[in-house]
Amino acid sequence: METIYQLLHVTFANVPAWTVQVAAFLIPIAFIFGVYPAIFALTTLVERKALGRIQNRYGPNRVGIFGILQPLADGLKILLKEDIVPRVADKFTHFLAPVLIVVPGLLVYLVVPVAPGMVAVDLKIGVLFALAVGTMSVIALFMAGWASRNKFSLLGAVRAVAQVVSYEVPTVMAGVAVIMAAGTLSTLTIVERQGGGILNISNWYVFRPWGLVGFVLFVIGGLAESARCPFDLPEAESELIGGYHTEYSGFKFALFQMGEYLAGMAMAGVTVTLFLGGYMGPGSGPGLVGSLIAMLWFFSKLAGMIMLNIWIRGTWPRLRVDQLMGFAWKVLLPLALVNIVAVGFWHFLTPRPLAWVVTTGWLVIWFLVLTKCNASAILEKREYRYV
Amino acid sequence: MNYPGKGLVEGLAVTARNFVGSYFYKDRLTTVQYPEERIQTPENSRTFPFLVFDESPDKPRCTACKICEVECPPKCIYIVMDRDDKGKPLQRPKAFDIDISVCMQCQICVEVCPFESIKMDNDYEKSKYGRFNDLVQRLPDLLKSNDYYRQIKPVEAAEVDAKLKAEAEAKAAKKAAAVAAAAAKAAATPPAGSAT
Amino acid sequence: MNIAFWIISAVAVLGAVLAVTLRNLVHCVLALILFFIGIAAHYFLLRADFLGTVQILIYVGAVAVLILFAIMLTHNVTGVDGPKELLGVKWWSGAAIAATLAILLKKAILSDPLATLLPAGDKAQSSVAEIGKALVAGWVVSLEAIAILLTAALIGAVVIALEEIQKS
């Protein structure tokens, strides 16, 4: 916002100051409201087509050429559906829950930088804001399950809340490793720290040992927080018995889907910012051409993360709820703590090769120890008598 | 070599191969895009009957003998024999209606036809917009050529053709034998008549 | 005082009043969440970004969820919000006690020299680094004591849950 304010202030020097301020305030918000829901609509189509190709079939290809008008058709269909509210449901809470799911998803985009200097709000505590706002969606899940006055919705909501809350902890701690290495909580500065190096690529935090582990933890946590496969137990319950969005139909259901996808893309955006170098890539720098290239890099990386999410969705089976919780508390949390210690080693060991060796060795040893300790959770190969 | 997470990575490799391969090798996508592409149903499949003609639609194999009309269990066939001006029956049908909303595809009409003229078709796109009388197939709809029959059911059509050819040859041979016998008889008797 | 202060205060006070007067307990908790967000907005107004974010993270993200779970496990929570007996004897006695408390508190707070300092406003800097340094360098004993307390609480919770599992 500051950059846009400077640009507008310079070009339109003779309009009153308050119009420039309002414009500098509205342009990033218009960008967020325009671009990210459009990416959401495109993602629904790309996901269906990519899942189709993985499963040896075409995705939707009837509506426009290559099915490009399918999101429009879906949107029209869901707008025209009847909005049914159960008679005994708590009307106010039932109405408010879909709204409260979408709002935190959109708020995270305020601190994700898309080009040098182009972040909607340059908070000094950007990363913390993103993570804190992400936890606000927990309330909405619970409200949705409670307001439906349905035992199964309540159970689904309780499980969803437990899942989101458990996976927040390793996610935040994986982010802490990056914060320690960068020395700041501001997302813009973190991205700038990942510039330089060979082709603006070799300084990305994902290419460091602790960064790779942190990246894996953050991706898993992001999948779990937006309840996507393989952690989509809340959604699976909605196929089987209920789940927190059973009693919703019509546009409220669309808002649930939108909130879930927006939260997933927001987590992907934060992952790109923290680990994959944000908008850094060969050719991104200040100036108009550099900014455009940087924006291209950012959206390519975001698209790559979304494709990774879709790939994972098409491949891995769903985890059961006890496997899910065990995974979060017994494997991911100790690994996140070990990762923080590894960043400490990296920071204080001065000869770089020594730091590489010690950090990598520390992480590998702890990974093997943790998988060995949790080996009882993995099913052994079974012997079948009448095969 | 087993490392933790091996199954996950191998799964990802399989799906990636499927995804990338579906763009380069067309036989990975087994979808038939229906209205634009249709695949021929197997030879043994059948939907509703049709009438076979050999050279032109004016000369169907059917002689309007009405055996199929009598044998049809739900009585969905209605045949009217074509007669000329004097009322003499021409051996072909004037009207041949099959009500496909009644036909139960039992193939009895095919089995009892002595002239191999009614056969079962593979065509399944027979729905119409009208509710009344649009599902009755009349004679022009039912007449299809022997080439079409050979195309949809090659093995069966080859058998039928071989059988018809054998019948025609047997008939020609019998006729030739009868002519030869009559000629032999004609050659044998006059000398006896002229002798007396 | 700028307009933002009055708007945020109005929202927070509205949340607080609804939290104590509504009959339906789940609606009360939602009003309480509104109040927490109002307080976080006040922190942001005072340029204490870190504290405001931590307020949202802890209060809205954890404490409110805890209260919601506790309410969920209780019976008879859904009373009907509607007109109730206003301005009866109980209301007047409660209002009198609250007014007395407010006057006493105001006298006590304003007699402290710290209260007459105006907020730093635009001159304050976000001080995450300062907080971190103070916690680890100056107040480390308190930090460790809190850590031990939280660990003890965690172990206690696990022990209670383990007893339940072993009993059944």
End-to-end CA distance of chain A: 66
Q: Is pLDDT above 90 for A36? A: yes
> Of B4, B12, B18, which has the smallest distance from its Cβ to A371's Cβ?
B4
Closest CA to A274 of A173, A142, A166, A346: A173
Which residues from A are below 8 Å from C65, CB to CB?
138-139, 142, 161, 165
Which residues from B are below 8 Å from A50, CB to CB?
19
For A213-240, what is the mean pLDDT? 81
Q: Is pLDDT above 80 for B165? A: yes
Q: Which residues of C touch A (CB under 8 A)?
A: 24, 26-27, 30, 33, 49-50, 53-54, 56-57, 60-62, 64-65, 68-69, 72, 78, 126, 128
Q: Is pLDDT above 60 for B54? A: yes
Residue B79 pLDDT level (bands cut at 50, 70, 90): very high
Q: Give Cβ neighbours of residue B10 (< 8 Å, ≥ 6 apart).
A: none
pLDDT of C59 reads: 92
CA B120, B121, B127, B133 torsion: positive or negative? negative
Contact B99, B135 (CB under 8 A): yes
The tokens for A360 are 């990598």
**Distance from the A65 Cα atom to the nearest Cα atom in chain C, whole angstroms:** 44
Contact B95, B82 (CB under 8 A): no
The predicted-structure confidence for A142-167, as pLDDT tens digits, reads as follows: 888 888 887 778 888 888 888 898 99
Q: Give Cβ neighbours of residue B12 (< 8 Å, ≥ 6 apart).
A: A311, A312, A315
pLDDT of A326 reads: 86
Asked if the bond preceding B140 is cis, omega within 30° of 0, the reply is no
Distance CA(C7)–CA(C3), nearest Å, equals: 6
Weakest mean pLDDT among A261-265, B28-32, B106-110, C87-91 = C87-91
Weakest mean pLDDT among A150-164, A240-254, A349-363 = A240-254
Q: Give Cβ neighbours of residue A278 (< 8 Å, ≥ 6 apart).
A: A113, A187, A190, A191, A194, A272, A298, A301
Q: Is pLDDT above 90 for A338? A: yes
Cα dihedral: A43, A47, A53, A59 (round 10): -80
Q: CB–CB of C128 and A158 under 8 A?
A: no
Q: Name the percent of chain B lying above pLDDT 90.
A: 30
Which residues from A are below 8 Å from C158, CB to CB?
none
Q: Is pLDDT above 60 for B196? A: no
Distance CA(A214)–CA(A182), nearest Å, equals: 14
* A375 vs A279: which has the higher pLDDT: A279
pLDDT of C38 reads: 95
Q: Dmax of chain A from CA atoms?
A: 87
For B57-81, what is the mean pLDDT? 91
* C119 vs A263: which has the higher pLDDT: A263
- Please return the burial class of A255, using the count of CB atoms within 10 Å of its CB with bins 0-12, 13-18 and 19+: buried
Angle between helices A251-274 and A209-225 (to 10 degrees): 170
* A204 vs B196: which has the higher pLDDT: A204
> Of C24, C27, C57, which has the smallest distance from its Cβ to A135's Cβ?
C57
pLDDT of A34 reads: 92
pLDDT of A339 reads: 94
pLDDT of A35 reads: 93
For C99-116, what is the mean pLDDT? 86
**Distance from the A89 Cα atom to the nearest Cα atom in chain C, whole angstroms:** 11
> Of B20, B22, B25, which to mutate for an interface test with A (greatest number of A Cβ within 10 Å)?
B22
Q: Is pLDDT above 90 for A228? A: no
A99 in B contact zone (CB under 8 Å) = no
Contact B47, B152 (CB under 8 A): no
Distance CA(C49)–CA(C36), nearest Å, equals: 15
Q: CB–CB of B29 and A316 under 8 A?
A: no
Q: Give Cβ neighbours of residue C3 (< 8 Å, ≥ 6 apart).
A: none
Which residues from B are below 8 Å from A315, CB to CB?
8, 11-12, 14-15
Mean model confidence pLDDT for chain C: 84
Q: Is pLDDT above 80 for A14? A: no
| Whole-structure pTM value | 0.83
CA A123, A125, A129, A131 torsion: positive or negative? positive
* Residue A9, CB-side half-sphere exposure with 13 Å CA sphere: 11
Residue A379 pLDDT level (bands cut at 50, 70, 90): low
Q: Is pLDDT above 90 for C36? A: yes
Q: Is pLDDT above 70 for C76? A: no
Pairing of strands B49-53, B143-145: parallel
pLDDT of A239 reads: 56
Q: Name the percent of chain B lying above pLDDT 70.
A: 95
pLDDT of C84 reads: 60
For C69-79, what is the mean pLDDT? 72
pLDDT of A343 reads: 93
Cα dihedral: C23, C26, C31, C33 (round 10): 160
Q: Strand locations in A107-185, DSSP E?
A: none
Distance CA(A140)–CA(A85), nearest Å, equals: 17
B124 in A contact zone (CB under 8 Å) = no
For A67-81, what is the mean pLDDT? 91
Touch criterion met for B and C (3+ Cβ pairs within 8 Å): no
Q: Is pLDDT above 70 for A237? A: no
CA dist C13 to C5, C27, C119, Å?
12, 16, 21
Distance CA(B15)–CA(A305), nearest Å, equals: 17
User: DSSP class of residue B90?
Assistant: E
- Please return the burial class of A287, using the count of CB atoms within 10 Å of its CB with bins 0-12, 13-18 and 19+: exposed
Residue A387 pLDDT level (bands cut at 50, 70, 90): low
Mean model confidence pLDDT for chain A: 86
pLDDT of A199 reads: 80
Q: Name the percent of chain C lying above pLDDT 90.
A: 35
Q: Please count the other Cβ atoms lying within 10 Å of the Cβ belonging to residue A106.
A: 19
Domain boundaries, chain B: 49-145
pLDDT of C96 reads: 92
Task: Name the class of domain B49-145.
Answer: alpha beta
Residue B87 pLDDT level (bands cut at 50, 70, 90): confident
Hey, which chains touch B, using 3+ CB pairs under 8 Å? A
A180 in B contact zone (CB under 8 Å) = no
Q: Give Cβ neighbours of residue A112 (< 8 Å, ≥ 6 apart).
A: A119, A130, A187, A266, A269, A270, A272, A273
pLDDT of A160 reads: 86
Which residues from A are below 8 Å from B29, CB to CB?
53, 56-58
For A264-283, what is the mean pLDDT? 90
The predicted-structure confidence for B94-134, as pLDDT tens digits, reads as follows: 999 999 989 999 999 999 999 889 999 988 888 889 887 88
A146 in C contact zone (CB under 8 Å) = yes
* Complete edge-to-edge strand list for the sheet that includes strand B89-99: B77-83, B89-99, B136-137
pLDDT of A167 reads: 92
Amino acid letter at B111?
E
* B113 vs C131: which has the higher pLDDT: B113
Residue A267 pLDDT level (bands cut at 50, 70, 90): very high
Residue C81 pLDDT level (bands cut at 50, 70, 90): low
Q: Give Cβ neighbours of residue C86 (< 8 Å, ≥ 6 apart).
A: none
Q: What is the number of H-type helices and E-type strands within chain B?
A: 6, 6
